Each structure stands twice: as C-alpha cells, then as structure tokens.
Amino acid sequence: MVVAVDAMGGDNAPVVEVEAAVMAARRWGISILLVGDSARIASELKKHQTADLPITVRHASEVVGMHDSASDAVRRKKDSSIRVAFNLVKGGEAQAVVSAGNSGATMAAGMFVLGRIKGIDRPAIATIMPNRKDNTLVLDVGGNVDCKPQHLAQFALMGEVYARHVLGKTAPRVGLLSNGEEECKGNDLTRGAHGLLKGSRSGYVGYVEGRDVFNGSVDVVVCDGFVGNVVLKLSEGLAEAIGSMLKQEISNRFFAKLGYLLARPAFQAFKKKVDYAEYGGAPLLGIQGTGVICHGGSNVKALSNAIFQARESVAKAINNALVVQLSKSLFDEKSLTELLERQEEGSGPVVEAAGI
C-alpha cells in the first residue's frame, strides 16, 4: 500500500509535506511516494533520518498554484505534482493521493485522471467535525458550489457509506442542512433533494439545522459546496476565536489562572477535540480512487494524519462499498411512483432531479 503525497501543494511546501511523510512512515509504516521537485524534496529529506523508512521520490516539474484555474491547470500542467500523483494511482504504483494544494485542481485532477464512480455525477469533498458525542461528517464543503437535487442525494449516499465503513457508524443517520426542520422550510434545491431522499435507502432522517452539526443528533450532514464551505470556515474561525478569548480572559485574571491550572487537562482535551489537525484532511468521495484534500496551511500533524486517513480509506475499501451500494437502486418502487405522481401535479424539478 503506497500513498502518493503532493509535496508541492501546501503553503509551506515541501518542508511540511516531507516532515509529515517522515512522521507517517515512521509511526505507521506507511509507504510514501513524495511527488514534486526532486531536488527540493531531497534537500528536505536530508534533514531527517530516513534510511530505514519506506519513502521514495517521483519528480514533477510543474506546480499548480492556489490561484490557478482548476480545469486549466489540469489540462495544461500535465507534469504538475498533483496530476502526476493521480497518474501514479492510475498506473498502480500508488493507491491513494494526499494534497494540501489547490482543492479545485485536486478534485479536477482526480476526475480527469481516474474518472468518477458510475452513478455519481459530481464527487464531493467531505470533512469530519467534532460533536458532543463523537463526530459528524459534512459534505460537500467546497467542491460543488452550484448543485442540483440529485447531487445532494448522491452526497447523502456517499456520506452514509463513508460514515459506516470508516467512522464505524453501524446505522448512520443522514440529515439535509436547511433553515428549519419543518418540511415547508428550505429552498428549491433542498426541497427537491428532500423529495428524493425521502424514498431512498440512505439512512435519511429529514431536514437538520446548523446546530445539529455539533449536537450529535445526526452522523452525516448534506449540503451544497457553497453552504458547506461557509459552515467549515465559520466553525474553524469560531474554534480559534473561543480559544483566543479564553486565553485572554484567563491571562487577565489572577484567580482565573489558578482555576486554569486545575482545569488544564479539560482545556487540553477540548483543544484536541476541536483541532482540525486531529482529523487529517477531507476525503474526496466519488472518484475511482482515493484522494484526501488538506488545508493549504496544514501543519505536520494534520498532513501525517491525512496520510493515515488515506491508507484507512483504501484498507476499508470505501470505493468498493460505494460501487456495491450504487448497484442497488437509490429509490424504491414506492418513491418512484410518488415522484411520477408529483410530476403529473407539476413538480417538475424534483422529478427531473431523479433522472426520470
């Protein structure tokens, strides 16, 4: 099992990527192919003890920048580190890709080189967020800002499979993010997706609100990439702000400092739970292979955890599980009949979303 790491994608590449690869190889014995400028990678590797580690280097002469157009970068930069990494998976030299580079280009390269799983129109970027009980999977968080109802229905199916096989949820509960739990709420997109998901086998429980991401009432939250990315960035910013404000309040009060000494283990446990680095990266679901997308500013811990996450996704055969699930009808006979009746009543968008 080999993980190809885009060594040139992150904000501090290849320094962080090389150190993360060394950490992952040493800690978990993962075989890693570092892809990028071989001279720069070799220079960084010399700073670490790597003689006994399963790390090799594959040269790539081009880099996709954060401001590059995703589609143009994939088509024109054929020797970019991210495209070469996916080519390694296609050729069987690696089984997964990890990148902290341009997320749009990573997603585009995954689709262009490996293709999509049959039955999935658009891959989705998923992320794991902490909740009161354990964690919640949220998708899409930025890959698809303009979606149709059938896309959200497919996201729900992929999220349910990932939650079951990777997160260990025996019967994942899937919710559709909306501005209220009542069926009359939402917009055209959510109402169309709701109509599809009510007749699906995806563990769907109905509309959920933003607070449900963190209270543990559902295991998977589905939304379009525009909303999902706002949720992601807001959550990260809130966690950072809370930590900063607590630190400031404690430092300004003598008795608060004494209290902190007593409560320090609890604060450390909380910090660990809300630290994005603990969760690695965001799995790219729906391509015919395994890809994990990380923040551009990911630290060593986050990237090493992402490498481990990629290996686990391959080991637990997530793509095989998706193929098996998609081989079954997403809609049962009753739901299809209802959709046809709604079409006769003028509910065109919902039926169009079902592909009828």
Identify the residue whose tokens are 């899937």: 174
The answer to whether 317 touches 290, Cβ cutoff 8 Å, is: no
Quote the pLDDT of residue 271.
67
Pairing state of beta strands 96-99 and 124-130? unpaired
The stretches of 61-175 forming alpha helices (DSSP H) are: 70-76, 81-90, 103-109, 149-165
CA–CA separation, 81 and 37 (whole Å): 8
CA–CA separation, 307 and 310 (whole Å): 5
Torsion of CA 75, 79, 85, 89, to 10 degrees: 70
Quote the pLDDT of residue 274.
64
- At residue 259, what are phi and psi to the nearest 5 degrees? -65, -35
Quote the pLDDT of residue 152.
94
Q: What is the pLDDT along the chain (356 residues), one digit of tens a residue?
A: 899 999 998 889 899 999 999 999 999 999 999 999 999 999 999 999 998 999 999 999 999 888 888 777 788 889 999 999 999 999 999 999 999 988 888 999 999 999 998 888 899 999 998 888 888 999 999 888 889 999 999 999 999 989 988 888 999 999 999 998 888 888 999 999 999 898 776 789 999 999 999 999 999 999 999 999 999 888 888 877 877 888 887 787 777 777 777 777 776 776 666 666 666 788 999 999 999 999 888 899 999 999 999 998 898 888 888 877 776 645 544 444 454 444 344 443 333 333 32
One-letter amino acid of 213: V
Identify the residue whose tokens are 């919640």: 136
Closest CA to 103 of 350, 281, 260: 281
Quote the pLDDT of residue 327.
67
Encode burial over 273-298: b for 16+ CB neighbours within 10 A, e otherwise. Answer: ebebbebbbbbbbbbbbbbbbbbbeb
Closest CA to 54 of 40, 33, 81: 33
HEC secondary structure over 177-243: ECCCCCCCCCCHHHHHHHHHHCCECCCEEEEECCCHHHHCCCCEEECCHHHHHHHHHHHHHHHHHHH
Quote the pLDDT of residue 316.
85
